[in-house]
Structure 1
C-alpha cells in the first residue's frame, strides 16, 4: 500500500487487514515525520498481522501482549510487562525474531551478570532467574503458536536460581519483642499479629474485611488479595487456587481481632479492615526493628516465621501447606532444612531389624 503526505507535512499510512472475525478492516496510522518512517511502519505492521517472524522482537511482544494479557491476573501481567519493557525490550527490541540466536541470549545474560548497582551489588539470583524466564516465555510462545523453529534461550541455558534468597525468620521470642513495641499503634499491632500467627500473605491481609471472620467457629476466610496498581486499589483473586482457603485462628487472636473491630467506626462488611499500604507496614517494620535491635527481616519473612513455628510444633508438611495455601511438596522442598532429620532414627531402626533377624 502507498503512503500519503498529510496537510500538516507529516506522513500517514492507509492499509487494510483482517480482524479476529476475518472481516476486512481499514487501518490508518498518522504522524510520521518522513515517508521512510511511514513505509517501515507499514511493513512491520503487515508482518505482525501475518505472524511472520521476520518481524522485530518489539512487534512480536505486542502480539504476545494481545495473546496473554487477558489470561493473566492484572498484577501478574503488570509485573511481567515491567520486567520485559525495562530489561528485555531495550536489548532485543530492534532484532528480528527469526534472527535471534543463542549467542545473542548469552551476550544479554552476561550483561545482566556483570551489572552492579551504586553499592556494588549484583542482581539477585532470584531476579536473574525471573528475567531469563520472562524471555523464555516469549520465545516459547513464538515456538508454540507462530512456528518459530527453536527457542534460543533453551540453547543458551538458564541463569539465576529460583527462590535463591536466604530464608530469614523470627523465633516466637523475637516476634514477641517486636509486637510489644508495636502496641502504641493498634492498626500496626493487629496487622502484624495476623501476619505472624496466621502466616497469610501481605496482599491477603490488606484485602481482609469483617465479613471474612467467623469468631464463633474461629474461622478466617482467605479468598482475595489487595494490590495497588497504577495508583488504584485493586482487589484480585488470591495468588493460586490453593490460596483460597479457610484458616482456624487461636482463641487469643479471635479476642484480639474482636477488640480491634470494636475500635473501627462505622465499618461496612465489604470495607478493608486494614486501609493501609504495603509501604506503611515496611516503615513500621523498620521502626520496630530499630526499637528492639532485632535483625531486619522482610514482611514476607513473617510467613516463613509462621511455617518454621509450625514445623517446630511437629506439624506435617501436608497440614502446614493446607494452612498457608501451598502445595505440600513445596513446603517439603523450601523448608526441608527446618524439618528434623530422621537419619539417625532410620539407622537405629535398621540396626534393630537386622539384630532381630527380620530380613
Structure 2
C-alpha cells in the first residue's frame, strides 16, 4: 500500500519507491490529492512512467520527452514547443494511452485544428497547422526511436497544413525609402526601422539592444540576445 491519508490536511498522498536509470533506489512523494481514487490513478500512471511502459498516458510520456529533450535545445525553443504541446495537443491526447492512440485519433485531432476559429472568426494558418502536426509527430518519433513504440500514428495519418505558408511580404528599396521619409521627424522610430531594414534584425533582437552593443569605432553592432514574451511580460 503506497496511498495514504493525510488527516491534518484532509487529503491523500502517494509514496513510490523505484530504481532509477543508474540502478539507484529512490523514493518520491506526491501530495494534495482530494480523493483516494485520484491518488491511486496518479500512482498507477506514475509507475508506468517509471518503468517506461508505453501503456502510460500520453501526458506521462510527455514528461519523459521533456526530461530527454529540454537540456538539448535552447530555452526559447523549448518554451515555444511547450506552449504548442500543452495548449493544442495535451488537451486532446493527454489521458490516452500511448499504445492506444491510432492514426484515426490523429485525423480527428487534425480535423479539430483545421476547423478551429477564434472569436474574430480567424482560423490557424497553413504554416501553423503544419507546425502543430510536426510537434505531435516528434513526440511519437521519440517514443518509436527510444522506447520501442511500434509505429508513429501521426506519420501514418499524414500531415496537415503547409510549411510554405502564405506569400512573404517585403518592401522594395523604393517602398522603404518612401516609408522612412514619413518617420524622419521621429528619431526613435527612424533609427529603429533603419536598423531593422539594413541589418536584418528581428523585432525581439532590436528591442534587446543596449548602448554596449554599439561599437562606433569599429562600426559594428553585436546581436547576442532578444526580448521574448513570457507570461505576458517581456524578458531578455
Name the residue aligned to 2:208.
207
* 1:198 alignment counterpart: 199
Secondary structure at the counterpart of residue 103 of structure 1: helix
- 1:18 counterpart residue number: 19
How much has 1:89 moved relative to structure 2? 0.6
Q: Give the CA deviation at 1:223.
A: 3.7
Distance in 2, Cα, partners of 1:77 & 1:19: 25
| CA distance in 2: counterparts of 1:138 and 1:156, whole angstroms | 15
Q: What is the distance in 1 between the residues matched to 2:224 and 2:16?
A: 47
Instruction: State the match for 1:5 in structure 2.
Output: 5
Distance 1:232 1:122, change over 3 A: closer
Partner Cα separation in structure 2 for residue 200 and residue 135 of structure 1 = 30
Structure-2 residue corresponding to 1:148: 149
What is the distance in 2 between the residues matched to 1:184 and 1:86?
Answer: 43
Query: Any idea what SS the aligned residue of 1:170 has?
Result: coil
Partner of 2:130: 129
Structure 1 residues 7 and 119: alpha-carbon distance in aligned structure 2, compared to 1, 3 A threshold? closer
Matched residue pairs, number?
Answer: 234
- Deviating beyond 4 angstroms after TM superposition, the runs of 4 or more aligned structure 1 residues are none
- Cα shift at 1:224: 3.5
2:54 counterpart of 1:56 = no
How far off is 1:214 after superposition? 4.1
**Structure 1 length normalisation: TM-score?**
0.61
Q: What is the distance in 2 between the residues matched to 1:225 and 1:118? A: 31
Q: State whether residues 62 and 139 of structure 2, in contact with CA within 8 Å, keep that contact through their aligned partners in structure 1.
A: yes
| C-alpha distance in 2 between matches for 1:166 and 1:81 | 27
The 10-residue stretch of structure 1 (31-40 or 15-24) with the greater mean CA deviation from structure 2: 15-24
Could you report, residue by residue, the CA deviation over 1:18-70 in whole angstroms, capped at 9, with x for unpaired residues?
34543212212222222211111111111001110000011111111111122
Question: Over residues 291-350 of structure 1, what are the superposed CA-to-partner deviations in whole Å (9 max), with x where a residue is unaligned?
Answer: xxxxxxxxxxxxxxxxxxxxxxxxxxxxxxxxxxxxxxxxxxxxxxxxxxxxxxxxxxxx
Offset from partner CA, 1:276-304 (integer Å, 9 cap, x none) = xxxxxxxxxxxxxxxxxxxxxxxxxxxxx
SS in structure 2 of the partner of residue 4 of structure 1: strand
CA-atom RMSD in angstroms? 1.9
**Aligned counterparts of 1:46 and 1:155: Cα–Cα separation in 2:** 29
SS at 1:13 equivalent: strand
- 1:1-359 pair list within 5 angstroms: 1-8=1-8, 9-230=10-231, 231=233, 233-234=235-236
Contact 2:227 2:234 in 1 (8 A): no
Determine which structure has greater relative contact order: mean sequence separation of CA pairs < 8 Å that are 6+ residues apart, divided by chain length. 1
Choose 1 or 2 for highest CA Rg.
1
Q: Distance in 2 between matches of 1:96 and 1:228?
A: 33
Q: 1:222 to 1:2 in 2, by over 3 A?
A: closer
Q: Secondary structure at the match of 1:225?
A: coil
Deviations 1:157-185 (A, max 9, x none): 00011131221112222222222232333
Gaps of 5+ in 1: 235-359
